[in-house]
Amino acid sequence: MALVPEPPVPRKLTMPNFILLLHGNSGGTPPDSPDEYMAMFKAYAGWADRMRAEGRYKGGEKLTDEPGKVMRPKAGRAAVTDGPYAESKELLGGFFVIAAKDYDEACTVAESGPHLGYGGTIEIRQIHEIHES
């Protein structure tokens, strides 16, 4: 047990984090064969590997295949609709959290992956970090 409290770790100068929300798109055609699934896996895994190698990858999860729900206020009670995107389960529905200098860089990272090429959509939002002073 430490008797002396640890000195405060100086806050590192880190890049802001962005969330890349990967939506499917019903416009894309699903893979037709095991070889095409393999090509798709290699493309996504290569993208994730590159993000890890660049030290940007902060985490990620797969989302379930349903389109999800959107709630909006409506005359006293909430209106629930499916959406906002029609998910197609053939595409990876999920999110990555990545570090990037700014939106431009985050967009470049998003573009360097295979998702758009497979007909998917990517929503990018910067995560607002709350700094303790």
Query: Quick check: 86 binds other proteins (CB under 8 A)?
Result: no
Query: Quick check: 68 binds other proteins (CB under 8 A)?
Result: no
Query: Quick check: 16 binds other proteins (CB under 8 A)?
Result: no
Cα–Cα distance measured from residue 54 to residue 47, given in angstroms and rounded to the nearest whole number: 11
CB 22 within 8 A of CB 116: no
Query: Quick check: 66 binds other proteins (CB under 8 A)?
Result: no
Query: Quick check: 92 binds other proteins (CB under 8 A)?
Result: yes
Spell out the alpha helix ranges (H) of 7-123.
34-53, 103-111
Provide the binding-site residues for other proteins, judged by CB under 8 A.
30-38, 40-42, 44-49, 52-53, 60-62, 89-90, 92-94
